[in-house]
Structure 1
Amino acid sequence: MPIKELFHQENSVLSLSPKDKKELLEMLADEAAARLQYDRQKVLEALQAREKLGSTALGRGIGLPHTRLEGLGAPLALLARLARPIEFDARDGEPVDLVFMVLWPENSAEGFLPALSGICRVLRGNQLARQLRQAQSGTEALAMLQSSEAESPDEPA
């Protein structure tokens, strides 16, 4: 699924202020549950279970919490920029301040890994992350994210 279809204009939050990873996951679960009309506790438990398998921090201050959920009708992706970086158990030791959460329907695994890969691909360079950290609005941040996909070369087959 292309980034422009995955991230919608209303799905960005540029001012979250969690004190730690646990609180961030709670805030993301709240945001997702409200947007999806889905059980907040199920979202939170799924995100926490995935983090127990290993941190979803990508490094360079970027987190990609993701999970598949039973009964979800369509994927949801949310871009969050944190007011202050938080510890996220990243391999490079860098605290996280940009978060890309992806929730995917359990019964529709097709497209899940390519969607995660597409996000990682556009974030390879430092330029997009730097731009997202400077964005003045959620709309501007998502426009940057979506336009970066067009500029990112496709992976070889």
Structure 2
Amino acid sequence: MQLSRILKPEAVKVYGTMSSKKRLFQELGEIAAVAYGFGISDAVDALQERESLGPTGVGHGVALPHARLSGLEKVSGAFIRLEKPVDFGAVDRQPVDLVFGLFAPHDSGVEHLKALALVSRTLRDVTVCAKLRANADPATLYAVLTEARASEAA
């Protein structure tokens, strides 16, 4: 699996600041709604429901909020880079500036887990994160994200 299969270029955004985790979820929902055509409120509610089970801030300024949604045909992603990190309740108590939201069909099973593992591996790569933090152009961010693991698969 490659990130280019689950992430569209138009689902990559850069924001200066975000007032809260809730607002961040709202933006992820709006990005996903535009890029993939599913309901904003469904996406936001699903992200918040999953987050209530435990924080998806994995440390080092990275968060991987994810949720299952009815009506999806395939796993889809949305990426946000924040200029100013936001408190996310991450495991290391550090604010978050790189956020990859993942949406999966309710019955996706192993595909959801594979996609989550791929995103996690990609954003654990210190070099990839440094490149993401050094760029503010969504097209460049998309290229960094999708090329990171594609080169390893070859």
1:95 matched residue in structure 2: 95
Note if contact 2:8-2:35 (Cα within 8 Å) is conserved in structure 1: no
CA RMSD of aligned residues (A): 1.6
Map 1:3-152 to 2 at 5 A.
Answer: 3-15=3-15, 17-152=17-152
The residue matched to 2:110 in structure 1 has which SS? coil
Aligned pair count reads 153
Compute the TM-score of the two structures, normalised by the length of structure 2. 0.91
- The answer to which of 87-96 and 13-22 deviates more is 13-22
Structure 2: gaps spanning 5 or more residues: none
Note if contact 2:11-2:32 (Cα within 8 Å) is conserved in structure 1: no
CA distance in 2, matches of 1:26, 1:10: 16
1:2 matched residue in structure 2: 2
CA distance in 2, matches of 1:69, 1:16: 28
Compute the TM-score of the two structures, normalised by the length of structure 1. 0.90
Instruction: Please state how far the C-alpha of 1:151 moved relative to its aligned partner.
Output: 4.3
Note if contact 2:75-2:115 (Cα within 8 Å) is conserved in structure 1: no
Amino acid at match of 2:102: V
Note if contact 1:16-1:80 (Cα within 8 Å) is conserved in structure 2: no
Instruction: Please state how far the C-alpha of 1:93 moved relative to its aligned partner.
Output: 1.1
Cα deviation 1:2-40 (Å, max 9, x = unaligned): 212112222100125311111111111122222233221
CA distance in 1, matches of 2:2, 2:152: 12
CA distance in 2, matches of 1:54, 1:96: 16
